[in-house]
Structure formats: C-alpha cells, structure tokens
Amino acid sequence: MSAVALLTLLGVTLLARTQALDCQWGALQAVQNVSELPLEWTAGRKSCEQGEGCQDTAILIVNGPQVNLVLSKGCTLAEDQEARVTRHRAGPGLSITSYTRVCRHGDFCNDLSTSGPLWDLPPETVPGTVWCPLCLSKQGCPENAPQQLCPAGHEHCYRGVLKLRGAGIASNLRVQGCMPEPGCNLLNGTQEMGHVDVSESCAPESDALTCYRGSMIKLGQSHQEPAQWTTPGTETCDAGELCQETLLLIDAGHKSLLVGSKGCSQAGARTSQDVSIHSAQPGLLVASYARFCAADLCNQASNSSVLLDALPPPGGVFTTVNVWGCASSSPSSLLNWTRNFGIFSAHPMSSRDALAVTNGASSGPAGGRWSRLPCRGRLTGEKGRLAEGALRAAPEAVGKPPATLLC
C-alpha cells in the first residue's frame, strides 16, 4: 500500500473516531410480572457531545412473582466497556442482576433491546416453613401485603428501601421478601450499577417519603412558552407529610413573574391537584398550580406547562372606553342593555366609577392623556341627561385647553 493511501486511510480513521456519536436515549422503571419476561423495549435517540460514548444500564430486581426493571440509555464520558452481566444477589427469593456497557464504535451501539441477557429461568426450589410479606413497589407497601412461602434456606424476611439515582433514574423502591440471612444487605455492598448509584435502608423512617426539593423565580417577557422547572435536590419528609409542587404566575402583559416551589408539604395535607385563576382582569393574570402527592419523588413536573396548558388561550381584545357626551336617558343604558356584539362582550360602568378612574389628567396608552371634558349649554326639545365620563385626547392634543361640547 502506498504512503498516500495509508495516510488517507489513517485520516479517515481518525476523523471517524473524533466525530460525535448518536446514541439510543431514554430511562424507565417499571414493575412487571415475572411471567412476562423477557421484556422488550425501544428507545429514543440523542446526539452526544464530541468525545462522549453511548451507554447501556439495565437492572432486574426479582422478588418471587414480581420483577422491577430499571433501564437507562444515553451519552457518557466513561471509558469503553464491553457488555457485562453481574449477579449482585442470586436467588431464589430476592435476586438482583445488572447489565452495563459503554461503546464508541458506531452510532446507536448501545442497542440492548431485551431483558434476555439478564434473565435465566429460576431453578426448582424446595419450600421452607417461613412466610414473609411480598412487596415490590415505588408507591409503598400495604400493611396487609400478601404473604409468600419462602424457599428452604431463604427463610429470613427482608424489609427495606432501595434508592436508585442517576442517568435519568430517581426512585425509592420498597422491597419485602425472602433472604438467606438476616440484616440489611440485599445489595451485597454494591454502590453502583453502571451509571445508576444504589443504596439501601432498613430503618423504620425509611418508609417516609422522599421528595424533590428546590425553588425557582423567573422574570420574563411572556408566560406563553413553558419554563424549565427541574430541581436536582431531594429531602426526606416527616411522618404525615406529602410531596408538593406549587407554581404562581403573575402576568402583566409586557412582563411576567413565575415562582415555583418543590418539597415536603405540611402535615395533614391530602393528595390533590388544582389550577386556580385568581385574577383575569384585562392586562393582568394571576394563576397558580398546586399538587400534593403520596409517592416518592412524585413532584416531578419538569416545566411550567402543567399550569400553562390549563389556562385559557392567549389573545383577544380587552379595553375600557370612557365616554363624555349627551344622551336622552340614563348613561347606564347607553348600550340599550346590549351585552354581546358577535364574539365581543361589553360591560358598562357607572359614571361615578369612570370619574374615579379618569378625573383629572393622567398618563394613558401610547403617550396620550385622559382629560375630563365638560359639557355645558341648554337642552331644547326632548329632555336629555348629561352622560359623564372621559374622552381620551390624542397625544398631540395634550396641553391644549379642554374642548367644550354644546348639548
């Protein structure tokens, strides 16, 4: 091979290694029945930064007839690693298996699409004599959880919480089942599985909820586009507390203020979700979103669309017209009690309300001013009444003496 051809080949090879990768992307956690194994899935896609590789992390936690699947795919700066299956806790009873891989040899190389590599049919077991509660849940275990007869040699009842964090996963998994030894060592000392950090707790307070915690204040030009609302911090609640997330929007047309809070609620709160509009006057909108929920990390709204999507659509015409002039009847009947004009609606104000707002000269829209214009003279013929109010003077008329109307 010639030197030119060799250099060209090397150049192409180097270029391919430095080119940014596209990887499969996504994260999920789900509790299924063991009878449904092997499970299959499809993933999204993501363009990584230069130098990043693609990663696969999958975890199977089996507890009798139930299995919890944890799956994470995405980009990583970690070094390449061949596909590896690790059995952190062997069954029967409770078992934990993980699959990890990091690759850079091509786009979408993190192509694990089934739980098959992690799953083997359990061996035949001999029943023991001990019954233990059975639970595998992100929501919490009931007090009267179903009982299972443990296999011989696995006759110690385990009760704990597995905390999984990282790579798009954040959950507390409640576990009750059969173990071969007493204590709180379901993970066998494991602290990470691929890109997911794991830990466990068997203390009584581990049943308390864990909630996202953080606050947000955003001042902007408009509320119409959703604002990001993520909080990486968490906190453990006290007894009787729930997770909460609250948004308050104040929109004055040209400016808007968005305030958000996530954390634990006060004791005694009840699960609920509500959107309230506190003020919808022309030019001013005040609305709020509040959710109280009773599962770990359930206050997980990622942006302000949870509030915005529940608001009336923007747009429309809102204006107040103040009138001075002559009328043959009471000013309140200027519209002859008409309230709707096609898609528009009108709501008259009393002259007292109008004068309270517009008496004297004050700044108006577009640089104009509101000026009180007197009406004087004699009425002849049909009896008439003065219709009081105000008339907006054009900007160029500001500073000129008020006009006089002859009724």
Does residue 275 sit in the same domain as residue 354?
A: no
DSSP string, 119-144: --PPPP--EEEEEEE-EEESS---TT
Longest Cα–Cα distance of the chain, Å, equals 114
DSSP 8-state symbol, 395: G
Nearest-CA neighbor of 42 among 62, 26, 63, 23?
26
Task: Specify the higher pLDDT residue, 6 or 23.
Answer: 23
Residue 16 lies in a domain: no
Evaluate whether residue 184 is within a structural domain: yes
Among 323, 324, 328, which Cα is nearest to 379's? Answer: 328
Q: Which residue has the higher pLDDT, 70 or 138?
A: 70
Whole-number Å distance between alpha carbons of 20 and 25: 15
DSSP string, 325-387: EEESS-GGGTTTT--EETTEE-----HHHHHHHHSS-EE-GGG-EEE---B-S---SS--EEE
Using omega within 30 degrees of 0 as the cis cutoff, is the peptide bond preceding 92 cis?
Answer: yes
When mean pLDDT is compared across 47-56, 193-202, 264-273, 343-352, the lowest value belongs to 343-352
Of 207, 242, 262, the residue that ends a domain is 207
pLDDT at 288: 95
* 350 and 370 within one domain: yes
The tokens describing 84, both together, are: 């590896």
Among residues 212, 210, 214, 209, the alpha carbon closest in space to that of 240 is found at 209
Query: Do residues 258 and 164 both lie within one domain?
Result: no
Contact between 365 and 394 under an 8 Å Cβ cutoff? The reply is no
Nearest to 373 by CA among 348, 393, 354, 343: 393
Residues in the chain: 407
Domain termination site, one of 164, 183, 207? 207
Instruction: Write phi, then psi, for 42 (nearest 5 degrees).
Output: -120, 155
pTM, rounded to two decimals:
0.61
Three-state SS string over 232-266 comes to CCEEECCCCCCEEEEEEEEECCCCEEEEEEEEECC
Q: What is the pLDDT of residue 235?
A: 85
Provide the CA 70 distance to its chain's centre, in angstroms: 20
Burial zone of 149 (CB within 10 Å; 0-12 exposed, 13-18 middle, 19+ buried): middle
**pLDDT above 50 (res 23):** yes
298/169 same-domain check = no
- Neighbour count for residue 227 (Cβ, 10 Å): 18
- Residues 203 and 225 occupy one common structural domain: no
In the chain, the number of structural domains is: 3
> What is the C-alpha to C-alpha distance for residues 390 and 75, in angstroms, rounded to an integer?
65
* Exposed e or buried b per residue across 310-322, where buried means at least 16 C-beta atoms within 10 angstroms of its C-beta: ebeeeeeeeeeeb
Whether 107 and 54 map to the same domain: the answer is yes
The average confidence (pLDDT) of the chain is 78
Query: Is residue 88 included in any domain, yes or no?
Result: yes
Instruction: Give the percent of the chain with pLDDT over 90.
Output: 46
Mean pLDDT of 80-107: 94
141 with 218, same domain: the answer is: no
Please check whether residue 7 lies inside any domain of the structure. no
230 part of a folded domain: yes
**Bigger pLDDT: 376 or 37?**
37
pLDDT at 378 over 60: no
In percent, the amount of the chain with pLDDT more than 70 equals 73
Both 195 and 337 in one domain: the answer is: no
| In a shared domain, residues 231 and 178 | no
Q: Which region among 188-202, 296-310, 315-329 has the lowest average model confidence (pLDDT)? A: 315-329
- The CATH number linked to 239 is 2.10.60
**Chain segment 205-238, per-residue pLDDT in tens:** 666 788 899 999 998 877 678 888 988 788 888 8
Residue 319 covered by a domain: no
Q: Are 101 and 82 in contact (CB under 8 A)?
A: yes
Host domain of residue 146: 21-207
Which residue matches tokens 């990663």?
A: 55
**The pLDDT value given to residue 379:** 31
Please identify, among 188, 207, 226, the residue that sits at the C-terminal boundary of a domain: 207
The answer to the question of residue 89 being in a domain is yes
Q: Are 88 and 198 in contact (CB under 8 A)?
A: no
> Tokens 């509790």 appear where?
31
Q: Which of 38-52, 79-93, 174-188, 274-288 has the lowest mean pLDDT?
A: 274-288
pLDDT category at 392 given cuts 50, 70, 90 is very low
Q: Residues with Cβ < 8 Å from 299, sequence gap 6 or more?
A: 211, 212, 243, 244, 245, 262, 263, 291, 293
Same domain, 195 and 216: no
Residue 50 has pLDDT above 90, yes or no: yes
**DSSP of 67-116:** EEEEEEEEEE-SPPEEEEEEEEE--SSEEEEEEEEEE-SSTT-----BSG
Residue type, 199: S
Q: Indicate if 179 and 37 belong to the same structural domain.
A: yes
Compute the average pLDDT of residues 373-391. 35
One domain, residues 87 and 202: yes
Query: Mean of the pLDDT values across residues 146-157?
Result: 92
Give the model's pLDDT for residue 169.
87
Residue 287 has pLDDT above 90, yes or no: yes
- In sequence order, the 6+-apart residues with CB closer than 8 A to the CB of 58 are 69, 70, 71, 72, 98, 99, 100, 112, 115, 118, 194
**63-91 residue pLDDT tens:** 989 999 999 999 999 999 999 999 999 88
With bands split at pLDDT 50, 70 and 90, how would you rate the model's confidence at 125? confident
Does residue 245 fall inside a structural domain? Answer: yes
